[in-house]
Amino acid sequence: MASRAATYERIRTVVARADPDEPLTAREILQLLEASGEQFDSPHQIATVLGRRARDGEVTVIESSPYRYRLET
């Protein structure tokens, strides 16, 4: 679905620009997105998008509390 791909690209672009040293939580990613003027509903929405991409190997999910995400850029 094109909108899912576009949503992931928006997330990936902002995270790539931030160039974090460590994996980020969905909440931290949401904060980066909001600071860049992007609109997302919640950390849950971010986690859902990234979880789907993890199946394809584009995102690494680190199962901690809370989960952390490393985007393969």
User: Model-level pTM?
Assistant: 0.91
| Mean pLDDT calculated for residue range 17-30 | 96
Return the pLDDT at 55: 93
Cβ contact 69:32 at 8 Å: no
Mean per-residue pLDDT of the chain: 93
| Domains of the chain, start order | 2-71 (1.10.10.10)
Contacts 24+ apart (CB under 8 A), 37-46: 38/10, 38/14, 46/11
Q: Check whether 61 has a pLDDT greater than 60.
A: yes
